[in-house]
């Protein structure tokens, strides 16, 4: 737990694999405690305190409810799954969330159906490839952000009543795990570095980055992005906020990251017909 950053990433991206599931190292604590009880060993029971305290120092704060009232802008992001059998139902559920700004990833062939269903609630929208942004406020200065051979990210300016907010929507490339290649993240990591370059070139100001990163905030391979922004979930969430897979979430790979604004609350929305849970945050501008 303490030295995960020193696990080498050169072979099979082992370091990223450990950091993706670092949260679950806490399961060692009750396992070790059970062993101590079975052995009736007071020394072993005391020794369990060390990993328990270590895990709490890493993740204990996440369990606290840091949500607060207030905020000027509610943002929702959702990987809707290109194989979603009921895109219109998903769109209506997301519109009912009351979000001011809605970002969707993995639109696929159902893009037109999302556009039709969301048009009444969100008069402004922009789509670039498989990602899109819908807003109740005007959108301008939109463009594709080049992170992959095909469009998977966009940048736009949302004109809110309290001034402009730059919004990035991104869907980093998928990862795979095989016994032969290990944790295959090369394409995702390259996309993260390109996205980090775009963020570095962005003038200072209110910036919100949302999307499916196919990785957790702790994964060092995403530091080109995560080192430049703060996590709304970490600052204003309650609990771990796990998002994937929707049926039994084990990792938070869908994120709302910010700079120049203050998160007031962050949470996950109920499951749709996607394999991801939607994420939401209220921000004070």
Q: What is the pLDDT of residues 13-63, one digit of tens each?
A: 999 999 999 999 999 999 999 998 998 888 888 889 999 999 999 999 999
In a domain, 68, yes or no: no
Same domain, 26 and 156: no
Rg (CA), the chain: 20
Distance of alpha carbon 101 from alpha carbon 23, whole angstroms = 30
pTM, to two decimals: 0.94
Same domain, 88 and 54: no
Same domain, 40 and 90: no
Same domain, 201 and 119: yes
Closest-CA residue to 160 (of 139, 142, 131): 139
Report pLDDT for 219.
97
Q: Is the pLDDT at 181 greater than 80, yes or no?
A: no
**For residues 196-224, average pLDDT:** 96
Same domain, 173 and 78: yes
Same domain, 54 and 126: no
Strand order across the 124-128 sheet? 124-128, 131-135, 101-105, 73-79, 279-284, 262-268
Same domain, 253 and 279: yes
Domain that holds residue 279: 73-284
* Percent residues over pLDDT 90 in the chain: 91
**For residues 125-142, average pLDDT:** 97
The count of domains in the chain is: 2
In a domain, 190, yes or no: yes
Confidence of residue 99 (pLDDT cuts 50, 70, 90): very high
In a domain, 183, yes or no: yes
Same domain, 78 and 53: no
Same domain, 125 and 257: yes
Distance of alpha carbon 153 from alpha carbon 72, whole angstroms = 25
Same domain, 107 and 231: yes
Phi, psi of 200 (to 5 degrees): -65, -35
CB atoms within 10 A of CB 154: 22
Is the CB of residue 243 less than 8 Å from the CB of residue 277?
A: yes
Same domain, 145 and 88: yes
Q: Is the pLDDT at 117 greater than 90, yes or no?
A: yes
Q: Is the pLDDT at 178 greater than 90, yes or no?
A: no
Dihedral (C-alpha) 88, 91, 93, 96: value to the nearest 10 degrees? -130
């Amino acid at each position: 737990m303490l030295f995960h950053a020193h696990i080498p990433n050169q072979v099979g991206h082992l370091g990223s694999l450990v950091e993706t599931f670092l949260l679950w190292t806490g399961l060692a604590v009750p396992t070790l405690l059970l062993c101590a009880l079975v052995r009736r060993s007071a020394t072993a029971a005391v020794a369990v305190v060390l990993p328990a305290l270590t895990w709490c120092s890493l993740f204990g704060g996440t369990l606290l409810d840091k949500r607060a009232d207030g905020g000027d802008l509610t943002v929702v992001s959702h990987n809707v799954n290109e194989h979603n059998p009921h895109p219109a139902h998903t769109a209506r559920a997301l519109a009912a969330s009351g979000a001011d700004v809605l970002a969707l990833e993995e639109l696929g062939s159902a893009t037109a159906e999302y556009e039709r269903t969301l048009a009444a609630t969100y008069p402004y929208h922009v789509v670039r490839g498989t990602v899109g942004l819908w807003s109740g406020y005007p959108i301008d200065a939109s463009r594709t952000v080049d992170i992959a051979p095909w469009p998977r990210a966009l940048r736009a300016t949302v004109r809110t009543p309290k001034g402009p907010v730059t919004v990035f929507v991104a869907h980093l490339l998928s990862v795979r795990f095989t016994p032969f290649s290990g944790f295959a993240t090369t394409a995702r990591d390259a996309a993260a570095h390109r996205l980090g370059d775009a963020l570095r070139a962005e003038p200072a100001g209110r910036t919100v980055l949302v999307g499916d990163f196919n990785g957790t905030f702790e994964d060092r391979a995403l530091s080109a992005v995560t080192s430049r922004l703060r996590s709304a979930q970490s600052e204003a969430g309650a609990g771990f906020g796990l998002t994937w897979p929707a049926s039994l979430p084990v990792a938070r790979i869908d994120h709302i990251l910010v700079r120049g604004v203050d998160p007031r609350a962050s949470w996950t929305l109920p499951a749709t017909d996607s394999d991801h849970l939607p994420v939401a945050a209220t921000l004070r501008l």
